[in-house]
Amino acid sequence: MLFVFAVIVAALVLFATEALPVDVTAIGVMVSLMLAEPVTMLAADVGLLAEPVYVLHQAGDGVSPLDRGLSGFASTATITVLAMFILSDGVQRTGIVQILGAKIASLTGDSETKQLSATVGLVAPISGFINNTAAVAILLPMVTDIAHKGKLSPSKLLLPLSYASMFGGMLTLIGTSTNILASQLSAELIGRPFSMFEFTQLGIIVTIVGTIYLLTVGRYLVPSRIAAKEDLTEEFEMGEYLTEVVVREDSPLIGQTVEEALRVSEFDVDIVQLVREKRTFLEPFGQKAIRAGDVFAVRTGRDTLVDLLDVEGLDVIPEVEVDDAELETADERTNLVEVVVAPGSALIGETLVSTNFRQRYDATVLALRHGQELYRQRMDHVTLRIGDTLLVQATPESIERLNRNNDFIVAQEVQRPDFRRSKIPVAVGIVAAVVGVAALTPIHIVISALGGALAMVLTRCLRPQELYDAVQWDVIFLLAGVIPLGIALQETGGADLLAELFVMGAGSVLTAGGGLAVVLGLMYLVTALLTNIISNNASVVLMIPVAIETAQQLNANAFAFVLAVTFAASTAFMTPVGYQTNLLVYGPGGYRFTDYLRVGAPLQAVFAVVTTLGIAYFWGLAPA
């Protein structure tokens, strides 16, 4: 038990600090648990320990710790989530969500109430049937454009977008990966999985309550961090970092290619665009030889610029303000966009240098918003994470390629000619069939979901080579890695001990006249606080065994306690790291960490009350 608790503490620290990606931490947990028995058996053989440490099985029960350690990869929850990613991507590639969004956006005008209502009213029901992280990623550009067209700060809509996707995900079993994992754990521990619409009635209630909160109290608490229709160069405070310079006749750069000049330069500088003989060139221009009279728009700090002018033979062009209009003279279409690092992106954990960003994507990064930090120089070695926002200068063709790349979300509407609109009825029909079969027949959701994923390929809604891009592999490895932790917590008696401690704490509540509903509310709050610090899936794995043991010790309905943990783990409003959707809007909304606490804490408190009362009413607290 002590060994398992040590692993849990280490995992919580790594999850909270993000010192390692969460999926890497999860695999580390799995490996640690599997190593415990063979390593301690060797130690016992040489007399260092009295007996081996068993964490994944009881001695002599005939079950291999290897099988239990790897059970996360064979878990129905893991496979179901994988299939649901494929189903979501199949629907996404038809463009139906964008079409719905465009129709609703046309009705919002410049009314903040209409824009907010449209945002919440669109994302919540969609999140019940496709992965809610995917729903936010799809709608983020549309919502940003709605805000700018209606002269409203995008910050006023993006946080509600994230929150609404979370409580919308509680409408069905397949709304979030957390629901699916909780269903499997409930089936294994108390023999009662969730049906497709097990908690839809409560999901509808919390969605209505959450919507009312966002349209009233939340509307005034959400800050306007980014001004409406603000010039992107102003938004990223680029005024002091963008300058136009001309190459003098005596410059040592003459004859070198742009790529060579950048490679050998000792200065922190990027060449954004080249103007030669009234023609403007954007990336890729690395192979162009530098000539006298060439005009470059460069990104660099003022101090660096002074040294650069002396050494490289350049002159500043006075009285030229480099802004959006100046940077977009190369083409009538957009050259300057915000790009968000998407969940599952290959850039996560990398830097602009290690990914060779400029050459790989034919694009120049002018600034980087990393949480609350805004980098306009010395950003090449900043480690990238989900939700980081890049200010990118590129040709329209390069921007279109970025838009098609699953590693990025371009935070404004870009024409996508590759949508398979003719497949809309097919893709929607497949998802409806998956839901119907799982809800109305004895066929398990994992079989229904895998069948739907196969149908997406057979009907050409998805191409075979697109299957692997559709899956967020970090989530899959996270699930596979943390599931054995729940097994170890059960097998070693850790869940019993934590439940006893919780019951001791809850005893004073019961003694003071508080009922089981108050204890259930405390279980919700503990899970919610944990989820706001670590991964939602990890908190479910840790808390469901404890919740079940607590219910059994109090002679209460264990299923009700499982539902409280599930709802709390799927609605992490108080920190940007509590849920992937919160991270997705962190950069584009320009939020501060405290914004989530200010807006999310009251909503979390309201949900604690509503969810607890709803569970007590619909499922009861007495033993089933």
- Digit-coded pLDDT (tens) for 271-308: 777 777 777 776 666 677 888 878 777 777 666 666 66
Burial (CB count <10 Å: 0-12, 13-18, 19+), residue 61: exposed
> pLDDT at position 615, please?
95
Q: What is the pTM of this model?
A: 0.81
Q: pLDDT band for 312, please (50, 70, 90 cuts).
A: low
> pLDDT at position 334, please?
56
Distance CA(277)–CA(269), nearest Å, equals 23
More confident residue, 598 or 337: 598
* Cα torsion angle, 447, 449, 452, 456, sign: negative
Q: Which two tokens stand for residue 231?
A: 């010039």
Distance CA(357)–CA(391), nearest Å, equals 13
* Percent of the chain predicted with pLDDT > 90: 20
Average the pLDDT over each of 152-156, 360-364, 517-521 and give the range with the smallest value: 360-364
Asked if residues 290 and 257 have their Cβ atoms less than 8 Å apart, the reply is yes
- Give 398-427 pLDDT, tens digit per residue: 888 888 787 888 876 655 556 788 888 998
Distance CA(205)–CA(602), nearest Å, equals 17
Cα 164 vs. chain centroid, distance in angstroms?
14
Asked if residues 230 and 260 have their Cβ atoms less than 8 Å apart, the reply is no
Q: DSSP assignment of 407-432, as one string? A: TEEESS----TT--GGGHHHHHHHHH
Q: Which two tokens stand for residue 258?
A: 């742009």
* Mean pLDDT along residues 507-514: 62
DSSP conformational letter for 458: H
> pLDDT at position 46, please?
84
Average the pLDDT over each of 38-42, 97-101, 204-208 and give the range with the smallest value: 97-101
* Mean pLDDT along residues 306-323: 65
* Residue 192 pLDDT exceeds 60: yes
SS3 content of the chain, % helix, strand, coil (to 5): 60, 10, 35
Q: Which two tokens stand for residue 583?
A: 């991270």
Query: Cβ contacts of residue 26 below 8 Å, gap of 6+?
Result: 11, 477, 478, 479, 480, 481, 482, 535, 538
What does the mean pLDDT of the chain come to? 82
Q: Which two tokens stand for residue 458?
A: 């057979």
Q: Scan for tokens 């930090």, then name that residue.
A: 373
Average the pLDDT over each of 45-59, 79-93, 192-206, 563-577 and give the range with the smallest value: 45-59
Query: Cβ contacts of residue 310 below 8 Å, gap of 6+?
Result: none
> pLDDT at position 352, please?
83
* Mean pLDDT along residues 337-359: 83
Asked if residues 558 and 547 have their Cβ atoms less than 8 Å apart, the reply is yes
> pLDDT at position 613, please?
94
Phi/psi-derived region of residue 278, left when phi > 0, alpha when psi is between -120 and 50, beta in every other case = left
Q: Which two tokens stand for residue 367?
A: 């600034």
